[in-house]
């Protein structure tokens, strides 16, 4: 498998982990989901992130899932290796890289505060996983409570050539993209790939600011791929029209805590997952919430036929 490079672009969905209602990993749905992502235009994939319920999997399950996806999707596979200690991070990294992963994703522990603490942490992480393993810096203050200035990202990028990508999900974050791209063009920062998360809430403008695409779990990765393509092709109005049609649902999905439940439910309605089950502990959708999602899907179907799901 080729390694992750700084010129990665397109859409890397953040994959959930399918479960049966009894809690076992649903490998059939995993395969179907992999195929669905490929058909949706995915140019890569990220597994074992928070949305993948990674902390609820044991070590063997985690590795099985990573291997299955690597074997089935002919695109770069990024694996989340965030761990409470560097020993576990190193061990998981070695396993998944040996299995053919393209790179790893590292989120900062939520205790980091100062600039030096953040850059120091990533220096230690690189020391642990090896400077030859491409990694992705996850910048998500809303979830991790770690605030990285553009200058801190610059320091990490300049210090470690193995930092090839930013998972950009700061909010607000548009000016951060502009700042990083300006530094790159001025020559004060090495070029990296910037893929945007945060549920895709600002994807309509992020591409225009210089992002290379999306890395998020919205249940319509096909829409994400279209928006990225339209933006890259200069079809601004068309990109916004499509994005705006999805925004009511996308916004509904982008709710801390219950977002995964919404996504699994929509992916079940779309026929990708057999069940929307999560392992415990998990936030559940109320009957009212499911009805709201159904209503949003029905409204969306007027603009995007892909939302015309089977009635339950």
Q: Which residues bind a second copy (CB under 8 A)?
A: 54-59, 61, 83-88, 90-91, 110-111, 113-117, 120-121, 124, 127, 147-149, 151-152, 171-172, 174-175, 178, 201-202, 204-205, 209, 240, 243-244, 247-248, 251-252, 255-258, 280-281, 286, 288-289, 292, 299
Distances (CA, A) of 253 to 107, 145, 182, 297: 22, 21, 32, 12
Which parts of 99-145 fold into alpha helices (H)? 115-129, 141-144
Distances (CA, A) of 113 to 141, 229, 237: 11, 37, 40
**Residue 2 beta carbon to a second copy: minimum distance, rounded to whole angstroms:** 29
Q: CB under 8 Å to 285, separation ≥6 — which residues?
A: 258, 261, 262, 265, 293
Tell me if 273 sits within 8 A of 18, measured CB to CB: yes
Based on CB atoms, which residue is closest to a second copy, 113 or 131? 113
The answer to whether the Cα torsion of 185, 186, 190, 196 is positive or negative is negative
Based on CB atoms, which residue is closest to a second copy, 187 or 257? 257
**Residue 76 beta carbon to a second copy: minimum distance, rounded to whole angstroms:** 25
Based on CB atoms, which residue is closest to a second copy, 11 or 125? 125
**Residue 265 beta carbon to a second copy: minimum distance, rounded to whole angstroms:** 14
**Residue 5 beta carbon to a second copy: minimum distance, rounded to whole angstroms:** 28
* Nearest-angstrom CA–CA distance, 129 and 211: 27
Based on CB atoms, which residue is closest to a second copy, 5 or 94? 94
**Residue 311 beta carbon to a second copy: minimum distance, rounded to whole angstroms:** 18
Based on CB atoms, which residue is closest to a second copy, 1 or 282? 282
DSSP 8-class letter at 4: P
């Amino acid at each position: 498998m080729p390694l992750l490079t700084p010129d990665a672009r397109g859409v890397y969905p953040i994959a959930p982990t399918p479960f049966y209602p009894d809690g076992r990993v649903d490998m059939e749905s995993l395969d179907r989901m992999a195929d669905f992502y490929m058909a949706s235009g995915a140019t890569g994939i990220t597994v074992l992130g928070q949305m993948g319920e990674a902390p609820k999997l044991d070590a063997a399950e985690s590795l099985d899932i990573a291997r299955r996806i690597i074997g089935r999707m002919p695109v770069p596979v990024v694996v989340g290796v965030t761990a409470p200690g560097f020993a576990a991070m190193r061990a998981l990294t070695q396993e998944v890289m040996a299995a053919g992963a393209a790179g790893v994703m590292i989120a900062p522990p939520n205790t980091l505060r100062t600039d030096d603490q953040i850059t120091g942490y990533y220096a230690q992480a690189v020391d642990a996983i090896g400077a030859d393993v491409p990694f992705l810096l996850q910048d998500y203050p809303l979830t991790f409570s770690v605030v990285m200035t553009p200058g801190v990202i610059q320091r990490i990028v300049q210090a470690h050539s193995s930092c090839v990508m930013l998972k950009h999900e700061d909010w607000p974050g548009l000016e951060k993209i502009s700042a990083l791209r300006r530094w790159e063009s001025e020559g004060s920062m090495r070029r990296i790939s910037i893929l945007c998360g945060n549920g895709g809430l600002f994807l309509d403008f992020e591409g225009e600011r210089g992002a290379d695409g999306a890395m998020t779990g919205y249940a319509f990765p096909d829409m994400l791929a279209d928006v990225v393509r339209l933006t890259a092709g200069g079809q601004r109005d068309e990109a916004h029209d499509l994005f705006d049609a999805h925004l009511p649902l996308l916004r509904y999905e982008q709710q801390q805590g219950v977002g995964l439940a919404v996504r699994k439910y929509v992916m079940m309605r779309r026929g990708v997952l057999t069940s929307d089950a999560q392992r415990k502990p998990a936030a559940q959708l109320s009957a009212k919430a499911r009805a709201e999602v159904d209503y949003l899907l029905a409204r969306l179907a007027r603009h995007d036929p892909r939302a015309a799901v089977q009635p339950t």
